[in-house]
Amino acid sequence: MNRTPSTRVEKALQGVSLLEIVQDFVDLVEDEPGLWWGVSPHHEDSGPDDFVVLEKDQIWECHVCQSYGDAIGFMMNRGLPFIEALEYLERRIK
Ligand SMILES: [Zn+2]
């Protein structure tokens, strides 16, 4: 059950850079403007083109398991519960 108003979520997602959040954990290489590639942090046997961040869309995609998401989803994939992922983002709002 999620009682968090979506405006709080939207504010957090709009206030942070997904790219900066991901880059704290993953080395990314920009191959075209706004397209950043790296090893998927979700899989141990991942190659350097398995994970991509679409900077403009604020979306990441994992090509190993075909998952994708936003910055909250990225932190939840790192093991944080939803509310802690949200709070992590809120601390990063500039
Ligand atoms: Zn994956």
Write the CATH number for 66.
Answer: 3.90.580.10
Token code pair at residue 2? 């999620």
Q: Is residue 1 part of a domain?
A: no
Higher pLDDT, 59 or 4: 59
Q: Which residues contact residue 15 at a Cβ distance below 8 angstroms, ignoring those fewer than 6 apart?
A: 89, 90, 92, 93, 94
Q: Which domain range does residue 69 map to?
A: 6-92
Q: Which residues contact residue 39 at a Cβ distance below 8 angstroms, ignoring those fewer than 6 apart?
A: 26, 27, 46, 47, 48, 50, 51
Total number of domains constituting the chain: 1
88 CA → ligand 1 middle, Å? 21
pLDDT tier, 88 (very low <50, low <70, confident <90, very high otherwise):
very high
Q: Is residue 48 part of a domain?
A: yes
71 CA → ligand 1 middle, Å? 15
Residue 68's pLDDT is what? 97
pLDDT tier, 6 (very low <50, low <70, confident <90, very high otherwise):
confident
Q: Is residue 62 part of a domain?
A: yes
Residue 5's pLDDT is what? 73
43 CA → ligand 1 middle, Å? 6
Please give the mean pLDDT across all residues of the chain.
94
Q: Is residue 12 part of a domain?
A: yes
DSSP-assigned beta bridge partners for residue 36: 30, 53
Q: How long, in residues, is the chain?
A: 94
| C-beta atoms surrounding 3 within 10 Å | 5
pTM of the model: 0.89
65 CA → ligand 1 middle, Å? 4
Q: Is residue 64 part of a domain?
A: yes
Q: What is the pLDDT of residues 13-34, one digit of tens each?
A: 999 999 999 999 999 999 999 9
